[in-house]
Structure 1
Amino acid sequence: MTDVLVVENLTRKFRTPAGEVTALKDVSFRIPRGEIVALSGRSGSGKTTLLNCVSGLDLPSSGTVMLDGQSVTGLDEAARTRMRRDSIAFIFQTFGLLPHLTIAENVGLPLRLRREHPELREERVAHLLDLVGLARRGGSHPDELSGGQQQRVAIARALANSPRLLIADEPTGQLDAATGAAIMDLIRAAVHAESATALIATHDNSVQDSADRILHIADGALRGRVGRGAHAMRP
């Protein structure tokens, strides 16, 4: 199976008034296409720093990140920005929807920024809203939806540009347990339907249980790999 994401010997150090801090320590892992990997660890363990380095929002002090055979760490800032626009999608616990836009407009925003043809954009938006169970709410605004529904919109928007990698940072953090479990089921279904790959940082046990694998990070280093599903033994 083809590896979509390859992280090798990733280290990130920061200089602070108190001295140098190592946020990531020689982190290496691979994620094949179609797999959902949960990243667990306490606050301050390095989860967000790792997500930032994987997505090109931050650069490591050493090590490499490869996305579908292309070096993320070797790109200049403009190229990393294009990669995030075209190949990487983000889901956050705060939803990040624009309140003055309708649901359909929020989902279609990435396509508008990419200057997709209006007819194709509308078709894609309709498909994604149907995928997340909100086909009849395209004309609504975010404040008219529940938290779970807003996260569904955020998932649809993240998938708009058919990303190769979906990165989620605590996507169920603001939701109750039942809604969070439903959102994770939706993420799994959406990832499979769109032939994507997902890396999800989470404290939520239900999210971890639904993943194919769990990578546990502590003090900036991977401390263990817990298998789930068909790829349980994959390093």
Structure 2
Amino acid sequence: MMAPIVPGPRAAICRVRPLWVSVEGLNGVGKSEAIRTVAAELGPRCMRLSELTDKDGDTLPGQVITALASTGDVFLRAGHPVVETLAFLALKVREYERLSKGDLTGVEVILEDRGVDSTAIYQAVILAAQHPGLQPMALAERILATMAPWRPTPDATVLLTGDREVATSRFAARTGRVLANRDLVVIEQAEVLYRDIALTHPERFTVLDVSGYSRAESAKALRGAVEDLIQRREAVHAS
């Protein structure tokens, strides 16, 4: 019996090669605002992909996120973490495949607010809480491996780090929530896992410590990192 043929990413998408940079970090670290600022400064040469949870409710991703948020859980935990993980992965694949060559004309860099690493890290922490015998790092790597045939990991990932308590306070204020202890545990474990993933994949990760930075300073640091990544890529192509 012939093995089933599993399709990979669409060929048209594979030919599109702007530099794909995902920006990661704990909730409240200042990631999204820095991305918006840098994308605006770079202008047409940059395409910004907003975080899944910021998608318009009239879109398919927005409808999925709304359904997952129906329980009121700040991390979209609806009680079925495997299904939720697959849903997030499917949305990230859809996002990738919907980009056409026309969409990216003149685009040098894609700035993605939370990429596949966020799904891997947060869902690994949530899954491990329900299955104590499983290690979050192993789960995160497995989630990334599951995604790989359908959507490659980004060319580069910039991880913003900072004071966790400050970031958590900002996150709670922004959402108008009083975070429960189990929410704080997720944030604490995600911080550890982000660090471990970055150490395991130094060829892809750039870590920026923005502790004590103003919003403008965080954006400046991110832009510097992105410009450096663009220049390094251009140097490789020119060699």
Q: Which TM-score bucket, shorter chain as reference?
A: 0.3 to 0.5
Q: Answer 1 or 2: which has greater strand percent.
A: 1
TM-score, with length taken from structure 1: 0.37
TM-score, with length taken from structure 2: 0.37
Q: Answer 1 or 2: which has greater helix percent.
A: 2
